[in-house]
Amino acid sequence: MSFPLLTATAAVPAIGAIATAAVPAAKRTAAKWLALLFSLATLALAVLIAVRFDPGAKESFQLTESHAWIRDFGVRYDLGVDGIAVALIALTAVLIPFVILAGWHDADPLEGAEPNRRWRPTQGFFALILAVEAMVVLSFEATDVFLFYIFFEAMLIPMYFLIGGFGDRAGGRGEQQAAAQRSYAAVKFLLYNLVGGLIMLAAVIGLYAATADQLGAGTFSLTQIVEARASGALTLGTGTERLLFLGFFFAFAVKAPLWPLHTWLPNAMGEATSPVAVLITAVVDKVGTFAMLRFCLQLFPEASSWATPVILVLALISIVYGALLAVGQRDIKRLIAYASISHFGFIILGIFAMTSQGQGGATLYMVNHGISTAALMLVAGFLISRRGSRLIADFGGVQKVAPILAGTFLIGGLATLSLPGLAPFVSEFLVLVGTFSRYPVIGIIATVGIVLAALYVLVLYQRTMTGPVKAEVSKMPDLKARELVVVAPLIALLLFLGVYPKPLTDIVNPAVQHTLTVVDKTDPKPSVKVDAVPGSGRHGQTAQTQDVEAAK
Amino acid sequence: MENLIALLVAAPLVGAALLLCGGKRLDRTGHWIGTLLAVASFAVAVVLFVDMLGKGAEHRALHQHLFSWIPVGGFRADLAFQLDQLSMTFVLLITGVGSLIHIYSIGYMEHDERRRRFFGYLNLFLAAMLLLVLADNYLLLYVGWEGVGLASYLLIGFWQHKPSAATAAKKAFLVNRVGDMGLSIAIMLMFTTFGTFAFGPVLTATGGASEGKLTAIGLMLLLAACGKSAQVPLQSWLGDAMEGPTPVSALIHAATMVTAGVYLITRSGAIFNAAPDAQTAVVAVGAVTLLFGAIVGCAKDDIKKALAGSTMSQIGYMVLAAGLGPIGYAFAIMHLVTHGFFKAGLFLGAGSVMHGMNEEVDMRRYGGLRTYMPVTFVTFGLGYLAIIGFPGLSGFFSKDKIIEAAFARGGTEGWILGGAALLGAAITAFYMTRVMLMTFFGEKRWDPKEVHPHESPKVMTIPMIVLAVGSVFAGGLFSAGDSFVRWLEPVTSFAHGHSPVSAGAVTAATMVVLVIGVGIAWLMYGRKAIPATAPRGSLLTRAARRDLLQDDFNHVVLVRGGAHLTRTLVYLDHSLVDGAVNGTAASMGGLSSRLRKLQTGFVRSYAVQMLGGAAVLVAATLLMRGV
């Protein structure tokens, strides 16, 4: 048996979580370094996955591991990755070290607080982050529907405590009120996602029942079910398939989040500390869109096509609505949260456009949005912690006193508005073109999003960074070394993937083609046949001249 | 040779990276590094140009393929360059004028503590602009297109402690984004129509596409051009863009970036040639803007804003010419190049005046400066003569050809367009004479105790002299033996227009309107004293001062309307969407009461309930399935 690389990639952060939690109360700094170390080890393993993964291979899942788990119900411990999963595992593993570094002091006990020998918030904070990482990685790896469901739900628990237990310093609000708002946000997050999960559980069991009914032995295995459906061994009635699809989709749409199920996100991202907000939107939420691609589309291809029009409209609403609300926000973190809602609209649009550009773009979008939001949100966090306020109106003229902070904030913002040359442009354009080629009107309306994105980003930048220096920010220090270490690599990644996204597209493309084959969709063909002579400008000019001559 | 193309872009790009990331230790040398790299890029351009001249007209285009940029399914975008005569023309203009303006800025920005960053942004602009004109496909062009938009944003808002500058920068970017939507959609249309958006394949295959598709693509490209080139209806940002340092106005908002729209239309000639309706839209936009900008230019007292109106108007001429098809492309580009010389020169002259006048921009506070700034006066004066089309100078040749081509469109349209172009020439003569008289002639309207006008240092005047030389001779050089038209013909194609009016008559008419325009301006501003505060003026004057009410419209409809919309949505999101979802949940399972319980700490009881609920659901499902 070969080395269980996939299990290891999840086990390392899980062990790290336990180890970090066990560090004695007095050794806070040791706990931080330990957590960082484990997250880096996970990153190394994720890189190993990417290296060992062969994009050209025929199998839809690679590096597979398979063990029986609950025999009576056919639940198996089945892991495997396709290109999409590899990309998202890499994203997760890359982001977590930055999340840990950025949150280095977020869970320090308040100055002057009584030392408490049993209460170890710092250890808890970093342990919870690693626990989330482990669950997220496992959800990307699981190819058994039930196994996926377990991790999909289990990650709510550490997330709940991360949102409810740690927040920004209260600033203007009283400590009491801040705690109340935090706990409201945490509960709202938990309830929305639990309800989604519950409905999904019903659908999971329904699916099992169908397999048990028709295949002799019930199974949760994605590959088996997909094969059985393709061969006709497993047929679902139209009504049943649609119900099951909706059950799955609902859970993922809450997580993603899709309008109108989005309202938990601004609360959660607003109240949580910035690194946790990044964890939510850049990592955890991606499981939702990922699962749409892997489970909704592959398990229920017909129902997916059936629901497509409605989902596309909801995604379109998310794009425009999220952007408009971002424009109207007065709180920096909530603004970024609404921007994310708009971006998730793009991702879902790309997935359900059912073209290789749409889905390839959506996968890239998940990765790029993760990086760009992390950059923007983490710098926003540095900014907020310096001023003790999240309100846009409390800032002004920061550019003058902290030019590096302002510069990195601007780059994060430019990535958010998908400036060409930075990674998000590639994915956004692919999603748009992929959507447009099948649904021109929807594609055109979605491009309005690029104008609105410019609006909310530049208004945010103008109000916080430019103009006369406000008295309260006049002493604001520029980015420190630790903060630069967080931001600089993220910016470098944004630039690299904007100029040379090929390593990513090479990994993702085959998986997207596989998904499209399962749902039985092919890309629309161009209406005019063109001789493929890339870069032959001169032919163009000659013909142009001839045209003109002919016209005379 | 083709391997040198990437170097054109790389040199200023490296400069931008060095200057922007280099930190304080480059503060003292930064401007030299930036200038050196701009000049290096120009040197490479000259080498490529000489090489190109040595080849036959049909074999001049070079290609350089770097790598496959975005390959997804049938979607293939490459990082590849194409250098043909059209690109070459732009490359020389961009790097040449760009280098001069870098040199000028060494003096102009000498006392600015953020000079290093200024040069970083200028280099970034050069790199993006070169990418724009060198790209061999529309998507890569798009990268340059937004890249210059970014540089423009950063430079307009360079003095961002001034709220007006920050607002102007944001406005420019936003209005341009509306245009960018057009470019996005055009590229998407090309992809669905042709399966590619590389220049070569698309422009050869236009014959196979329906006219409707091509018209749609053409109109979207026009929208993009309107944004970048400040054409009606997306012109409102250019006047505000004058908040940027004056060298920026000269380079970006006069000579190069704002002409990118003309490049786009000319480059896409094959599409427009096959879509007459789109061409009609292009000429209409051009004609309207050339009058719009000229009228605005007449009413402004701010010297830079008067010149900005003029820029808008002159680009209107170019767009008009480009919309005329093969009879106009070459003239559009020719006017673009001569305009690059004289308008950059005029802006640098304006900067020099401001430099000597404590950054004063109000022409009502100038007057009689010709003796204090002789070099500025002469160079500005030559630029002035060039732009109004004084016989023998650059503008005379290039503008005359456009007016002639406009008449040659034929029919009523030809008369309307030709008439508009002639009228524009008259107004141009008027407003430029006005600027000239208010600034350099008449009595002093400034306080000699506070202001000490002086000539600018050599580092600033030498670029002005070079540009003045270009303003004088470029037109004649290009027209001699139709050299410019023959140079561009292999790329843009060329057809002789058949004007109902003879060329001689057009020239004569142009001369008559020129004299009328100058004459009226002299009567109004040369013979009479100029009041220090502007008179109230006619209704038209007042409207023109406010950019013909465009901003008022924007403010009422977009700004205030938008604010209402977002505020309403924020309210509804909280009360309606959030409320509805929570409410539905509550009615289904009493969630809100649980929510309250949970908040008071009954996590355990909640978990039990949840598990119970799950069990019920599971049981129900199993029963339903009959398993």
**pLDDT tens figures, A202-216:** 999 899 988 888 888
Are the Cβ atoms of A541 and B198 closer than 8 angstroms? no
Are the Cβ atoms of A458 and B180 closer than 8 angstroms? no
Whether A551 has a pLDDT exceeding 50, the answer reads: no
Give how far Cα B624 sits from Cα of A199, A209, B612, B614, B618, Å.
15, 10, 18, 15, 10
What is the number of alpha carbons within 13 Å of residue B520 lying toward its C-beta?
13
Same domain? B527 vs B614: no
Say which of B61, B75, B165 has its CB closest to residue A538. B61
Say which of B173, B582, B610 has its CB closest to residue A454. B173
Question: Is residue B242 situated within a structural domain?
Answer: no
CA distance, residue A518 to nearest chain B CA (Å): 16
Whether B566 has a pLDDT exceeding 70, the answer reads: yes
Whether B623 has a pLDDT exceeding 60, the answer reads: no
pLDDT in tens, A458-502: 999 999 999 999 988 888 999 999 999 999 999 999 999 999 999
Q: What percent of chain B has pLDDT over 70?
A: 93
CA distance, residue B112 to nearest chain A CA (Å): 14
Q: Tell me how far apart the alpha carbons of residues B594 and B608 are, in angstroms, rounded to a whole number.
A: 12
Does A329 contact B at CB distance below 8 Å? yes
**CA of B492: which chain A residue's CA is closest?**
A541
**What ipTM, to 2 d.p.?**
0.90
**CA of B66: which chain A residue's CA is closest?**
A500
Q: Tell me how far apart the alpha carbons of residues B227 and B304 are, in angstroms, rounded to a whole number.
A: 20
Distance of CA A306 to the CA centre of its chain: 26
pLDDT in tens, B342-379: 999 999 999 999 988 888 888 888 888 889 999 999 99
| Mean pLDDT of the B53-75 span | 89
Whether A535 has a pLDDT exceeding 80, the answer reads: no
Which residues between 272 and 311 in chain A have a beta carbon less than 8 angstroms from any beta carbon of chain B? none
CA distance, residue B415 to nearest chain A CA (Å): 22
Does A426 contact B at CB distance below 8 Å? yes
- Residue B26: pLDDT band by 50, 70, 90 thresholds? confident
Question: Is residue B618 situated within a structural domain?
Answer: yes
Residue B194: CB partners within 8 Å, gap ≥ 6? Answer: A526, A528, A530, B201, B202, B205, B209
Whether B599 has a pLDDT exceeding 50, the answer reads: no
Whether B605 has a pLDDT exceeding 80, the answer reads: no
From B535, B568, B603, give the residue that closes a domain: B535
Say which of B162, B193, B618 has its CB closest to residue A202. B618
In chain B, which residues have their Cβ closer than 8 Å to the Cβ of A324?
Answer: 565-566, 569
Interface-testing mutation among A188, A219, A419, A538, with chain B (most B C-beta atoms within 10 A): A538
Whether B609 has a pLDDT exceeding 90, the answer reads: no
Which residues between 77 and 96 in chain A have a beta carbon less than 8 angstroms from any beta carbon of chain B? none
Q: Tell me how far apart the alpha carbons of residues A295 and A297 are, in angstroms, rounded to a whole number.
A: 6
- Whether the Cβ atoms of residue A397 and residue B161 lie closer than 8 Å to each other: yes
User: How confident is the model at residue B55, as a pLDDT?
Assistant: 86
Say which of A356, A537, A547 has its CB closest to residue B200. A537
Does A441 contact B at CB distance below 8 Å? no
What does B262-301 look like in DSSP terms, one character per residue? Answer: HHHHHHTHHHHHT-HHHHHHHHHHHHHHHHHHHHHHHH--
Question: Is residue B197 situated within a structural domain?
Answer: no
Residue of A37 and B233 predicted with greater confidence: A37
Residue of A183 and B177 predicted with greater confidence: B177
CA distance, residue B61 to nearest chain A CA (Å): 7
User: How confident is the model at residue A119, as a pLDDT?
Assistant: 60
Whether A534 has a pLDDT exceeding 50, the answer reads: no
User: How confident is the model at residue A218, as a pLDDT?
Assistant: 84
CA distance, residue B585 to nearest chain A CA (Å): 9
Are the Cβ atoms of A465 and B160 closer than 8 angstroms? yes
In chain A, which residues have their Cβ closer than 8 Å to the Cβ of B150?
Answer: 414, 419
User: How confident is the model at residue B509, as a pLDDT?
Assistant: 92
Give how far Cα B608 sits from Cα of A50, A378, B222, B393, B611, Å.
41, 37, 63, 89, 5
- Whether the Cβ atoms of residue A415 and residue A494 lie closer than 8 Å to each other: yes
In chain B, which residues have their Cβ closer than 8 Å to the Cβ of A454?
Answer: 173-174, 177
Does A213 contact B at CB distance below 8 Å? yes
Say which of B68, B160, B569 has its CB closest to residue A328. B569
User: How confident is the model at residue B25, as a pLDDT?
Assistant: 87
In chain A, which residues have their Cβ closer than 8 Å to the Cβ of B192?
Answer: 436-437, 440, 524, 526-527
Same domain? B506 vs B565: no
**CA of A408: which chain B residue's CA is closest?**
B21
Are the Cβ atoms of B209 and A528 closer than 8 angstroms? yes
**CA of A447: which chain B residue's CA is closest?**
B181
- Residue B283: pLDDT band by 50, 70, 90 thresholds? very high
Question: Is residue B306 situated within a structural domain?
Answer: yes
Question: Is residue B610 situated within a structural domain?
Answer: yes
Same domain? B587 vs B525: no
Angle between helices A440-465 and A423-438 (to 10 degrees): 150
Same domain? B348 vs B474: yes
User: How confident is the model at residue B106, as a pLDDT?
Assistant: 93
Residues paired with B78 in a beta bridge: B68
Does A105 contact B at CB distance below 8 Å? no
CA distance, residue B207 to nearest chain A CA (Å): 8
**CA of A195: which chain B residue's CA is closest?**
B585
From B535, B566, B598, give the residue that closes a domain: B535
Question: Is residue B593 situated within a structural domain?
Answer: yes
pLDDT in tens, B223-245: 999 999 999 889 889 999 999 99
Same domain? B531 vs B405: yes
Whole-model pTM: value is: 0.91
Interface-testing mutation among B188, B498, B588, with chain A (most A C-beta atoms within 10 A): B188
Does A400 contact B at CB distance below 8 Å? yes
- Residue A24: pLDDT band by 50, 70, 90 thresholds? confident
Residue A320: CB partners within 8 Å, gap ≥ 6? Answer: A342, A345, A445, A448, A449, A452
Same domain? B492 vs B441: yes
- Residue B616: pLDDT band by 50, 70, 90 thresholds? low
Alpha helices by DSSP H, B360-410: 374-388, 394-408
User: How confident is the model at residue A114, as a pLDDT?
Assistant: 59
**CA of A425: which chain B residue's CA is closest?**
B143
Interface-testing mutation among A211, A541, A546, A548, with chain B (most B C-beta atoms within 10 A): A541
Strand pairing category for B75-83 and B62-72: antiparallel
Report the 10 Å Cβ neighbour count for A227: 12
Are the Cβ atoms of B61 and A528 closer than 8 angstroms? no
Are the Cβ atoms of A329 and B570 closer than 8 angstroms? yes
Does A527 contact B at CB distance below 8 Å? yes
Same domain? B441 vs B525: yes
User: How confident is the model at residue B588, as a pLDDT?
Assistant: 52
CA distance, residue B454 to nearest chain A CA (Å): 31
Say which of A202, A512, A530 has its CB closest to residue B194. A530
Question: Whose structure tokens read 């209107």?
Answer: B316
Paired tokens of A483: 């903060």
Say which of B203, B495, B570 has its CB closest to residue A325. B570
Whether B143 has a pLDDT exceeding 90, the answer reads: yes
Top mean pLDDT of A48-52, A109-113, B477-481 is at A48-52
DSSP, collapsed to helix, strand or coil, labels residue A172 as: coil
Whether B551 has a pLDDT exceeding 80, the answer reads: no
Lowest mean pLDDT: which of A72-76, B223-227, B307-311?
Answer: A72-76
Q: What percent of chain A has pLDDT over 90?
A: 65
Q: Tell me how far apart the alpha carbons of residues B43 and B276 are, in angstroms, rounded to a whole number.
A: 40
- Residue B626: pLDDT band by 50, 70, 90 thresholds? very low
Report the first-to-last Cα separation within chain B, whole angstroms.
Answer: 76
Same domain? B472 vs B589: no
Residue B615: CB partners within 8 Å, gap ≥ 6? Answer: none
Whether A540 has a pLDDT exceeding 70, the answer reads: no
Q: What percent of chain A has pLDDT over 70?
A: 93
Report CA dihedral (A147, A149, A151, A157) to the nearest 10 degrees.
Answer: -150
CA distance, residue B281 to nearest chain A CA (Å): 20
pLDDT in tens, A217-275: 888 999 999 999 888 888 888 888 999 999 999 999 999 889 888 989 999 999 999 99
Q: Dihedrals φ, ψ of A67, to 5°?
A: -140, 145
Are the Cβ atoms of B201 and A188 closer than 8 angstroms? no
Q: What share of chain B is helix, strand, coil (3-state, %, to 5)?
A: 80, 5, 20
Are the Cβ atoms of A468 and B161 closer than 8 angstroms? yes
A-B CB pairs within 8 A amount to: 295
pLDDT in tens, A417-457: 999 999 999 999 999 999 999 999 999 999 999 999 999 99
Same domain? B508 vs B387: yes
Q: What's the number of domains chain B is made of?
A: 2
Same domain? B459 vs B562: no
Q: Tell me how far apart the alpha carbons of residues B507 and B359 are, in angstroms, rounded to a whole number.
A: 39
Same domain? B431 vs B504: yes
pLDDT in tens, A360-370: 999 999 999 99
Does A405 contact B at CB distance below 8 Å? no
Report the 10 Å Cβ neighbour count for A41: 18
- The residue segments making up the domain with residue B571 are 555-625
- Residue B449: pLDDT band by 50, 70, 90 thresholds? confident
Q: Dihedrals φ, ψ of A298, to 5°?
A: -80, -35
Whether A113 has a pLDDT exceeding 70, the answer reads: no
- Whether the Cβ atoms of residue A447 and residue A428 lie closer than 8 Å to each other: no
Question: Is residue B514 situated within a structural domain?
Answer: yes
In chain A, which residues have their Cβ closer than 8 Å to the Cβ of B598?
Answer: 187, 190-191
Q: Tell me how far apart the alpha carbons of residues A160 and A162 are, in angstroms, rounded to a whole number.
A: 5
Report CA dihedral (B189, B191, B196, B202) to the nearest 10 degrees.
Answer: -20
Closest CA to B303 of B412, B200, B189, B380: B380
What is the number of alpha carbons within 13 Å of residue B299 lying toward its C-beta?
21
- Whether the Cβ atoms of residue A325 and residue B562 lie closer than 8 Å to each other: no
Whether B68 has a pLDDT exceeding 80, the answer reads: yes
Same domain? B410 vs B526: yes
From B481, B503, B535, give the residue that closes a domain: B535
Question: Is residue B580 situated within a structural domain?
Answer: yes
**CA of B183: which chain A residue's CA is closest?**
A447
| Mean pLDDT of the A57-71 span | 87
Q: Tell me how far apart the alpha carbons of residues A453 and B371 are, in angstroms, rounded to a whole number.
A: 51
User: How confident is the model at residue A236, as a pLDDT?
Assistant: 86
Whether A539 has a pLDDT exceeding 80, the answer reads: no
Does A488 contact B at CB distance below 8 Å? no
